[in-house]
Chains A and B, each alone.
Chain A
């Protein structure tokens, strides 16, 4: 599976949009982009995933560039409870593909 690169940390103000970037320049055609988050030692939580089209659900939006080499997770109105480590993961569609977590990006939402 392709590797991803994320900045180690970022912060944003409560109520504002949080835009979390991810680079995956070696992504191949059958690989999806997944986002998970982990709030302070709790189990990781699935947020969203996409292949090439932008995706939106009740938690977030995922914007994938046309060349698929990078993506942005958008939390439209960040709250203090969104403070967490966010993991961007590239995963193939194969049955034996693993979900490999990197170091993620620590998002701190400030009051």
Chain B
């Protein structure tokens, strides 16, 4: 158990819909990262937050947005969902930047 909690574990929705994935980092970790893993793309870095501020951006689509709240939990919002958004979405936290990342078990999104 890494100490990073992600909800929901599984989510099935339809194209065009919007979903929110939630991440609670390890206690005391200020930095949160989001990754997407699909079968053909591998693990893709999406975005990083540190203590509520965006620090780095990767291949995150404009339809996706994220934020980190004052209590340090983070949410990844995915809108206008397409079939290709079906993937595992991982959140990770880190006690310092840069440092080891501790990953959650992921949220598996299926878009039908």
Residues of B within 8 A of A91 (CB): 98
- The reply to whether B101 and A46 form a contact with Cβ atoms under 8 Å apart is yes
Residues of B within 8 A of A101 (CB): 35, 42-45
Cβ of B80 < 8 Å from any Cβ of A?
no
- The reply to whether A41 and B33 form a contact with Cβ atoms under 8 Å apart is no
Residue of B whose beta carbon sits closest to that of A38? B43
Partner of B55, one of A34, A92, A95: A95
- What is the interface residue range for chain B against chain A? 20 to 34
Q: Interface residues of A: mostly helix, strand, loop or mixed?
A: loop
Q: How many residues of A contact B (CB 8 A)?
A: 25
Q: How many A-B residue pairs have CB under 8 A?
A: 59
CA distance A34 to B105 in the complex (A): 20
Q: Interface residues of B: mostly helix, strand, loop or mixed?
A: strand
Per-residue CB contact flags for chain B residues 72-107 toward chain A (1 = under 8 Å, else 0) read 000000000000000010101000011011111110
Cβ of B112 < 8 Å from any Cβ of A?
no
Per-residue CB contact flags for chain B residues 34-54 toward chain A (1 = under 8 Å, else 0) read 010100001111001010000
Can you list 24 A-B contacts (CB < 8 A)?
Answer: A34-B100, A36-B101, A38-B43, A42-B105, A42-B106, A43-B2, A43-B90, A43-B106, A44-B43, A44-B90, A45-B2, A46-B100, A91-B98, A93-B98, A94-B98, A95-B97, A96-B48, A96-B55, A96-B97, A97-B56, A99-B45, A100-B45, A101-B35, A101-B42
